[in-house]
Amino acid sequence: MRSCAARSGGFLGCLFRQRGVVYTPKGDDLFYASLDFNLTGNTLPPVNVTKCVSVLPRESTGVLLFDILIANSDRHGRNLSVDFSAKPAKMNIFDHGHALFGKDAGNGVARLEKLSDRLGVSAGSRTAGNRHCLLDQIDSDFHFGHWLERIRSIPHFVIEDLCADLPGLGCTKGEASAAASFLRYRCAKLGQIVAANKLQFTAIKTWRLF
């Protein structure tokens, strides 16, 4: 809970309602509890991300753009899952421990400042070399407009209310303020950030939106 990774993942997990904050019996420590999407208890194989984009292009685009919003480069085949047998197919995403403040305790605010205008998911030095697993798979910007508009329309008060709870969840007031500023800025500028980094979307040969 005290690491940046735990705080980032827990905060975003609560945002998704996939996690919750639980307390020790004495109430003197906090932990994050997460839903378990593995119903069999066996180690799941990595999802076929090419098939994921083919079957769920709209949802896959949403995952990529949301992860760009929160600077989560650590999206790979083992922290998203797709039930292709369901009609329609169903996707679950989890594990946001490297987003926002990152994984290195004490460097969260500096990380947000460095990534403010960057894509944040393209294997750069500021994201520990991680490259988002969908960045080279999505081959059209057809669904970008839908998700960018939804992200732009997130009310500032929602972000501010969520971040206002962070000091009670192990973050400092400075980290909470930095997270709120980062998210407000990214919501407004995400389209511009994507447009400035079109070459990173290697599978998109023709852009319609930009």
Report if residue 53 sits inside a domain.
Answer: yes
Report if residue 6 sits inside a domain.
Answer: no
Report if residue 171 sits inside a domain.
Answer: yes
Report if residue 54 sits inside a domain.
Answer: yes
Number of compact structural domains in the chain: 1
Furthest C-alpha separation in the chain:
58
Report if residue 208 sits inside a domain.
Answer: no
In three-state secondary structure terms, 177 is helix
Report if residue 42 sits inside a domain.
Answer: no
Structural domain boundaries enclosing 179: 47-96+107-200
Prediction pTM value:
0.83
Is the peptide bond preceding residue 88 cis, with omega within 30 degrees of 0? Answer: yes
Q: Which amino acid type is present at position 73?
A: S
3-state helix, strand, coil in the chain (%, to 5): 45, 10, 45
- For 175-191, b/e burial (b = at least 16 CB within 10 A) is bbbbbbbbbeebbeebb
Read off the pLDDT of residues 3-50 as tens digits, 9 standing for 90 and up. Answer: 444 444 444 444 444 456 666 777 667 666 666 656 666 666 789 999
Contact, 23 vs 12, CB < 8 A? no
- For 80-104, b/e burial (b = at least 16 CB within 10 A) is bbbebeeeeeebebbbbbbbbbbbe
Report if residue 114 sits inside a domain.
Answer: yes
Q: In what helix (H) or strand (E) does residue 64 lie, and over which residues does it extend?
A: helix 57-69
Q: Confidence class of residue 103 from pLDDT cuts 50, 70 and 90?
A: confident
128-149 average pLDDT score: 95
Report if residue 10 sits inside a domain.
Answer: no
Residue 77 has pLDDT above 90, yes or no: no
